[in-house]
Structure 1
Amino acid sequence: MIRDTSAQDQVSTQRPQPVWRRWLWPAVATAAVVIGIGYVISNWLGASRSFDGDRLRVAEVSRGDLVRDIAADGRVIAANSPVLYAISSGTVTLKVVAGDVVKQGQELAVIDSPELRSKLAQEQATLAGLEAEASRAALDAVLARATGAKLSDQAGLLRTAAQRDLDRYQRGYDGGAVPQVDLAKAQDELKKADIELQHAHQDASLQSQGATLDARNKRLLADRQEAVVAEVKRQVDALTLRAPFDGQVGQVQATQHTQVATNAPILGVVDLSRFEIEIKVPESFARDLAIGMPAQLTSGSGQPFPGEIAAVSPEVVNGEVVARLRFSDKQPPGLRQSQRMSARILLDTRNNVLKVERGPFIEQSGGRYAYVVSGGTAVRRPIQTGVSSLGEVEIVSGLQPGEKIVVSGADLFGDNERVSIN
């Protein structure tokens, strides 16, 4: 007889579990996955385009001190390096070669100009003739004054004689020995003598003035010719080119014993005692530069030297402005032209400001917009920027510390308000 399993069965007192509870937790997990996928899809759909993050540079907004300075590499140039020119055409004879050390007043080159030397001889001869005429005119003036004085003296003597005759006739008339007619005649002679004396004085004065004026004109002509001779002589002396200061011969632009034209460059002289540093500054910083602003110059050995801005070019070339810096105390020994030196100009310092790394986004939007990165999305947000340095820019409004923005590569986004970053 085969037994069944009835002896092993037990009566259960628990109620059967509902079917919905069996699928509760799988449904919750499925809903979470769907929500996550939906969030990702919504972000992807919310961004108009997607870009590779490796092509972007992102910087974090922070708060701190913003130091506005300019750092640039410059080259050493001579502050005083004139070029000597030929004052007249002629044959040049060089006395030095490039690189020679020269002293002030030393002969550097001589130009042989027969035309200019002949002109000097002609002008000197003309001057000698005018000097003789001026001397003759001065002598004539003396003679004229002497002649006038003689005629005046003679007229005075005649007047004295007429007065004496009148007195004699007057006494005779008073005594009844001389008729009235003779007395009247003597009176007329005195009046005539007075008139002649007056005219003699006038003639002497006019002759003296005329002779003096003629002598003065002759002297002025001689002085003018003397100035012409001095100028031509200066030009002849300038045919010998001399060193204007202690220095070194730079580039020689003329060939030995060749004909040069007027105003042709011959050679240059470099003042080794005064050097300046020429740097190129971005156009955006040019307005902040001022003559006399302090700077720090660093040589190849790393030793700093104080300096100051000596000049700022008024024109912009390729978006840059050329500035010159000079040493305010002493310059490094052994400087040479075109040697490289580092320059740093401190403009000002802003304390406790909101700042971010400087990038092309400033030039692309004029500092009005920035793409704020959050997760895998970059959203364009309006901002306001302030002053900037070479490495950082001040944020006035629109951003908060800790936020990250795209500082380079935002030009790829175009005008999209939201983009996705992979």
Structure 2
Amino acid sequence: MNKSTKKVVLEELRRNIPGRNVRIILAVSLLLLVFIGLYSRREKISSFFDKNNNKDQTAYVKVETIVSNKTIQLSIVQNMSIEAVNRVNLLPRVTGRLDKLHVKRGDSVKTGQILATLEHTQQNAQIEAAVANLASSVADAERAKAEMMNAKTNLDRYERLVKEGFSTQQQYDSIATTYFSAKANYNASLAKQRQLSSELNRTRSTRGDYIITSPLNGIVLNDYSLAPGAMISPSTPVMDIADLTQLKATLKIPESKIFIVQEGMFVTLTFDALPKKEFKAKVTKIDQYVDPDTRTSNVEIALNNKDTEMILRPGMFGQASIIEEEKKNAIVVPESAIHERENDFYVWVVINDKAVLRTVKTGIKQNSDVQITEGLKPGEKVIIFGGNNLKNGDSVKIQNQ
């Protein structure tokens, strides 16, 4: 009986039966309609699963024998791309014309190795001039030192002569003046030497701005195809260097799952380019902030690429799985064995070559496997293929080949 028919019946009862008996009759009618609805649902389920004729046809099925020693996991799975922990995009400190690229894309480099140079002829000339000036200053200081030492020797001699009465105080004072003048000249020459040495260091440092070196051990990921003679500036990238031994990725974990993730937890990584391999990473950082737009927090994971024989590369796309829940010694069946009807789950169990319908409760789902928490026990044979058109009690023949 459909909804429109039920409505007409109730309306007719209300119009044709006057008085206080109307409410009683309406209540009885409603109970009758509920009973009819429940009976109709039972008939539908029965017609879906039970035999509707006495004809006994044998169905060929594939089965799996239930065991209880499997492990199944519920995981948080995120797409991600890996990147180098240490990666530097090198820019020149000054504007100038590119003189030479000493390495190219794919080359290995060491810390301090020269990667590129800008034209620095003028800086070389300045350094040569500074070196010459410093050398001259050093020579002047040596001469001034010799003059001071001679003056000191002469001063000491006159001091003895005055004490012995062989020289006058006036002569001694004249020699002392000569000594102190030589000493002041020597000190001045030392100060000039220090000044010129500082100027040389500054000039060399300035020339260093025209020489680009590697700040780390790594690989040249990009040389930007620059050619000698190109004009470059502090905004022009010259070289992209990365240390490939340490890699990382950033996951966006939903707010509802963030307290499941802890620093130090292992994460399983798989990559589209390496479908048969799994790699292990660790959670190294969890942001103490939830993005109000996405309701997620950033979680950083890292791995040592040396453990993978350096097979991974920055930019590779894959999936990261963090175990949320794990059940050991579980009963697990393929998803193909489970049938759903009106929010209930069922499996077909083979008993004495007959298909027997069994209600089950499910737990964790992992890929195509589903945990069964109630309804099955070890040793039973569950139909995993060929059970879609079965009726309760149908004869079956196991054909697993």
TM-score (norm: length of structure 1): 0.48
Q: Greater strand percent: which structure? A: 2
Query: Could you say which structure has the larger radius of gyration?
Result: 1
